[in-house]
Chain A
Amino acid sequence: MGFFVAQFLTGLASASSLFLVAAGLSIIFGVTRVVNFAHGSLYMIGAFIAYSVASRFGFWIAVPVAAVGAGALGWVMERTVLRHLYKAPELFQLVATFGLVLIIQDAALWLWGPTDLLGPRAPGLSGAIHILDEPIPTYDLFLIAVGLAVLGGVWWMFARTRFGVLVRAATEDREMLQALGVRPDRLFQVTFFIGAALAGLGGALEVPRQTVTLSMDLTIIAEAFVVVVIGGMGSVLGAFLAAVLIAELNAFGILIFPEITLVIAFVVMAVVLIVRPYGLLGKAPQGAHAAVEIQAPAKLGKYGRIGGGLLLVGLLILPLVGSEFAVVLMTDVLIFALMAAGLHFMMGTGGLISFGHAAFFGLGAYGAALLSSKLGFSMWLALAGAPVIAAIGAALIGLFAVRLSGVYLAMLTLAGAQILWSLGVQWQDLTGGDDGILGIWPADSVTGTTAFYYLCFGLSVIAIAAMMAAAGGRFGLLLRATRDNAPRARALGINVGKRRWAAIVIAGMAAGLAGGLYVFSKGSVFPSTLAIPRSVDALVMVLLGGLHAPAGPIIGAGVFTLLEDSLSRLDYWRALLGAFIVAIAISAPGGIGGALSNWVSRAQRQRS
């Protein structure tokens, strides 16, 4: 009995920080309709600030300073980046905040260094109290009290202050509130400050419990997404209930299924989404923005076709004229182009935002690796199995995904990928954990660099061409119809859900095949193939190349991989990439492909 109580209290203590972060995320979303991916970064910054301040002024000074510091950073984010994006399609809002994640991560690296930091214990609370003969850390009890106090405080703010009343009104009907004379910009700024401060507080309070690391941001944001999706976006009480639910599931689940605790969270999320698509206490969003810009795909055109032909010829003769290094690099480009093409297909043509494309890539990679190493499949069979396994994963995720759109879909896909990633790390018997699976080499016939390059070339070109044909043909037309105007599509007899599901499965297959090729090109697979940075890479490739340019993923994968190759030697290249992403989101939503086709059509107009 005592053990279960202790376990329960541990769960509640873990729920506290998660609740603080999720509540901030939820409040910000309620008012601004922006899902802030950088919210986890504010949590991380809160922890770092608390660590530094605590070492000089003591922990109890550090906590409020960290909260205010994170709040101020949130305010700066709102003023410098987000306010330019309130009217932008959801994709660009999400992507820009993702850029901020990268910038803040490198800023933290620069300021605090790469080593994990062990913070001080909370003075006065370092002991344990015995409850039913079980020692409960005093600090855990303190955290539970803080969680409840913040819930009470937030409730008080919403119920008793003018600001709280306005926030609730804005969550319900922002336009009406504005018509009553309330300035939305001020409301947004204060909301961002408070939401960010809550995240910072959550981070600061975790300092005595865990080491402060540079990966805290993405770990917490994935969990926070699960929490707000379950609790309902915009509902603080929902965030609290969901945080407790998830934390308790973890606390007890670890006793029963120590290897797959996060899968339980995912199952709970899936069940909640089936019963209540907008979460336990959430409501259907009003006046949501378009997920992506409704725009015709750019035509390849004469110059595009000439360029494409030259590119194909260049790729064909590359092994004859290029160095081995160039061939290896271009193998990567081809694989990533295929991965990006899948995302481009579902996001560009289908308007379905995914922040978890790595899930499919990693499923293909791990699938091929396991088929090869555990079942002894030949490379060819394993390679054939990769897209099938990824497609099955995509079909499952797609079942939930088609019920959602925009930011909800983005969060769901990210959470799904994150859960697969944690399986990759946790399920050591199958995946080898962080050590990965090694020794996956290609069949003898394609074992050389050049031979394998041609294999990738052949498969990528065929698969990308097939998707381009599908996007340009009937399938693409009907899919675009669901993206442009779902009610109109339904009224024409188009089964919107089925169409979207098919698009996700196709995207999954492409990424899965790319993942399979990737394993055989590297000879090994690690959890990083499933991790968030891989999903971000895919997103950046698509946006860089141009969401509505047919050759977008190819251009994007090429430029990105070459840039990464040359820039990743710099210490802070992720920050550079982040700044770049923010810049694309704010000022060049068409990407390189969009710019090229604008430039060509302008040149043609001038001539005629």
Chain B
Amino acid sequence: MLEVNNLTAGYGAARAISELAFRVPTAGAVALLGRNGAGKSTTIKSVMGLCDIYDGRITLDGVTLSGQSPDAIARAGVGYVPEDRRVFADLSVMENLETGKKAGADGAVIWTAPKVFDLFPEIARRRDASAGTLSGGERQMLAIARALMGNPRILLLDEPSEGLAPVVVQRLGETLSALAVEGLTLLLAEQNKALARRLANNVVILETGHVVFTGTFDDLDRMPELLERYLSV
């Protein structure tokens, strides 16, 4: 279980999120919703150790993550699929997978290159192409595959649907929901409500750096005014 308690974080003097608290149960999936700038990305980066944490604590299965270096956090079992993908453009698809390769925190190796290629045949076909030549959707698949190569306990996905055509989002949704069904814990930041609902039962809505709603999607359906207020314009 990932636990975020009283988290206040930002970049230098600029504070982006304040006193956040939520949990992601093991094998569960939580979607962070909210308009851009609401603090979703900062929340994900805080878990990954990539921004300044001023206060609060983040733990994964009892192990404290906050205050550790990003590489230690990754080795503790956190997989990261960043905003903008950040695949290594000069490296081939295979080499990108190599950069993510490591045993899980418990020493287990479940994911290998052939297995992630089964999941994403699109990139298997282009295994020797440099990542810089991939399409947006292929890059996103590669970024997910690269994170899986580290055999994570929890996968952080920052805006996976951003900039992708609906049919590609559909395709990603299928694979990610299959992973979720298999028991991979997911925390995703997403503006696309349809994708978020497909992957997660639980939702945390952020607005100007604060949690304004925590509950299930079903709860949210009963409160359409919340959607209107925090997600729409």
Determine if A180 and B146 form an interchain contact, defined as CB atoms under 8 angstroms apart.
Answer: yes
What is the CB-to-nearest-CB distance from B147 to chain A, in angstroms, rounded to a whole number?
8
Q: Which of A61-69, A121-129, A181-189, A366-374 contacts B (4 or more CB under 8 A)?
A: A181-189
Determine if B91 and A179 form an interchain contact, defined as CB atoms under 8 angstroms apart.
Answer: no
Determine if A179 and B90 form an interchain contact, defined as CB atoms under 8 angstroms apart.
Answer: no
Interface membership of B10, Cβ < 8 A? no
Determine if A180 and B150 form an interchain contact, defined as CB atoms under 8 angstroms apart.
Answer: yes
Determine if B88 and A179 form an interchain contact, defined as CB atoms under 8 angstroms apart.
Answer: no
What is the CB-to-nearest-CB distance from A271 to chain B, in angstroms, rounded to a whole number?
26
Interface membership of B48, Cβ < 8 A? yes
What is the CB-to-nearest-CB distance from A568 to chain B, in angstroms, rounded to a whole number?
45
Contacts of B74 in A (CB 8 A): 178-181
Expressed in whole angstroms, the Cα–Cα distance for A175 and B99 within the complex equals: 12
Determine if B89 and A172 form an interchain contact, defined as CB atoms under 8 angstroms apart.
Answer: yes
Q: Which of A11-19, A161-169, A428-436 contacts B (4 or more CB under 8 A)?
A: A161-169
Contacts of A172 in B (CB 8 A): 88-91
Contacts of A178 in B (CB 8 A): 69-71, 74
Kindly identify, within residues 125 to 147 of chain B, every residue whose CB is under 8 Å from any CB belonging to chain A. 146-147
Interface membership of B50, Cβ < 8 A? yes
Expressed in whole angstroms, the Cα–Cα distance for A181 and B79 within the complex equals: 9
Determine if A165 and B80 form an interchain contact, defined as CB atoms under 8 angstroms apart.
Answer: no
Interface membership of B75, Cβ < 8 A? yes
Q: Which of A165, A169, A179 contacts B71 (CB 8 A)?
A: A179
Kindly identify, within residues 98 to 121 of chain B, every residue whose CB is under 8 Å from any CB belonging to chain A. 98-102
Contacts of B86 in A (CB 8 A): 173, 176
Determine if A165 and B48 form an interchain contact, defined as CB atoms under 8 angstroms apart.
Answer: no
Q: Which residue of A lies closest to B95 (CB)?
A: A165
With A162-B98, A182-B71, A183-B71 as given contacts, are A175 and B150 in contact (CB-CB < 8 Å)? no
Determine if A176 and B82 form an interchain contact, defined as CB atoms under 8 angstroms apart.
Answer: yes
What is the CB-to-nearest-CB distance from A158 to chain B, in angstroms, rounded to a whole number?
10
With A165-B95, A175-B50, A175-B70 as given contacts, are A180 and B89 in contact (CB-CB < 8 Å)? no
Determine if A181 and B150 form an interchain contact, defined as CB atoms under 8 angstroms apart.
Answer: yes
Expressed in whole angstroms, the Cα–Cα distance for A331 and B164 within the complex equals: 71
Contacts of B70 in A (CB 8 A): 175, 178-179
Contacts of A182 in B (CB 8 A): 71, 99
What is the CB-to-nearest-CB distance from B211 to chain A, in angstroms, rounded to a whole number?
24
Interface membership of A328, Cβ < 8 A? no
Contacts of A181 in B (CB 8 A): 71, 74-75, 100, 102, 150
Interface size class of B (residues with CB under 8 A): 20 to 34
Interface membership of A177, Cβ < 8 A? yes
Kindly identify, within residues 23 to 58 of chain B, every residue whose CB is under 8 Å from any CB belonging to chain A. 48-50
Expressed in whole angstroms, the Cα–Cα distance for A183 and B102 within the complex equals: 12
Interface flags, B215-232, vs A, CB<8A=1, else 0: 000000000000000000
Expressed in whole angstroms, the Cα–Cα distance for A177 and B99 within the complex equals: 7
With A162-B98, A175-B50, A180-B150 as given contacts, are A169 and B91 in contact (CB-CB < 8 Å)? yes
What is the CB-to-nearest-CB distance from A456 to chain B, in angstroms, rounded to a whole number?
46
> Secondary structure of the A side of the interface?
helix
Expressed in whole angstroms, the Cα–Cα distance for A162 and B94 within the complex equals: 11
Determine if B100 and A180 form an interchain contact, defined as CB atoms under 8 angstroms apart.
Answer: yes
Contacts of B82 in A (CB 8 A): 176, 179
Contacts of A179 in B (CB 8 A): 48-50, 70-71, 73-74, 80, 82
Expressed in whole angstroms, the Cα–Cα distance for A162 and B91 within the complex equals: 12
Q: Which of A162, A176, A177, A183 has the most CB of B within 10 A?
A: A176
Expressed in whole angstroms, the Cα–Cα distance for A173 and B100 within the complex equals: 13
With A162-B98, A165-B98 as given contacts, are A180 and B80 in contact (CB-CB < 8 Å)? yes
Kindly identify, within residues 160 to 212 of chain A, every residue whose CB is under 8 Å from any CB belonging to chain B. 162, 165-166, 168-169, 172-173, 175-184
Contacts of A165 in B (CB 8 A): 91, 95, 98-99
Expressed in whole angstroms, the Cα–Cα distance for A355 and B50 within the complex equals: 34
What is the CB-to-nearest-CB distance from B100 to chain A, in angstroms, rounded to a whole number?
5
Expressed in whole angstroms, the Cα–Cα distance for A255 and B68 within the complex equals: 60
Contacts of B90 in A (CB 8 A): 168, 172
Determine if B150 and A168 form an interchain contact, defined as CB atoms under 8 angstroms apart.
Answer: no
Determine if A173 and B71 form an interchain contact, defined as CB atoms under 8 angstroms apart.
Answer: no
Contacts of A168 in B (CB 8 A): 88, 90-91, 95
Determine if B50 and A180 form an interchain contact, defined as CB atoms under 8 angstroms apart.
Answer: no
What is the CB-to-nearest-CB distance from A86 to chain B, in angstroms, rounded to a whole number?
13
Contacts of B89 in A (CB 8 A): 172
Contacts of B96 in A (CB 8 A): 169
With A180-B150, A182-B71, A183-B71 as given contacts, are A173 and B98 in contact (CB-CB < 8 Å)? no
Contacts of A183 in B (CB 8 A): 71
Contacts of B95 in A (CB 8 A): 165, 168-169
What is the CB-to-nearest-CB distance from A168 to chain B, in angstroms, rounded to a whole number?
6
Q: Which residue of A lies closest to B81 (CB)?
A: A179
Expressed in whole angstroms, the Cα–Cα distance for A169 and B74 within the complex equals: 16
What is the CB-to-nearest-CB distance from A293 to chain B, in angstroms, rounded to a whole number?
15
Q: Which of A162, A166, A180, A182 has the most CB of B within 10 A?
A: A180
Expressed in whole angstroms, the Cα–Cα distance for A325 and B88 within the complex equals: 64
Contacts of B99 in A (CB 8 A): 165-166, 169, 177, 180, 182
What is the CB-to-nearest-CB distance from A237 to chain B, in angstroms, rounded to a whole number?
12
With A181-B150, A182-B99 as given contacts, are A176 and B71 in contact (CB-CB < 8 Å)? no
Expressed in whole angstroms, the Cα–Cα distance for A575 and B14 within the complex equals: 44
25 CB < 8 A contacts A-B? A165-B91, A165-B95, A165-B98, A166-B99, A168-B88, A168-B90, A169-B88, A169-B95, A169-B96, A172-B88, A172-B89, A172-B91, A173-B86, A176-B88, A177-B99, A178-B74, A179-B48, A179-B49, A179-B70, A179-B74, A180-B71, A180-B80, A180-B146, A181-B71, A183-B71
Q: Which residues of B contact A (CB under 8 A)?
A: 48-50, 69-71, 73-75, 80, 82, 86, 88-91, 95-96, 98-102, 146-147, 150
Q: Which 8 A-B pairs have CB atoms at the shortest separation, nearest pair first? A: A181-B74, A179-B70, A178-B70, A176-B86, A169-B99, A169-B88, A165-B95, A178-B71
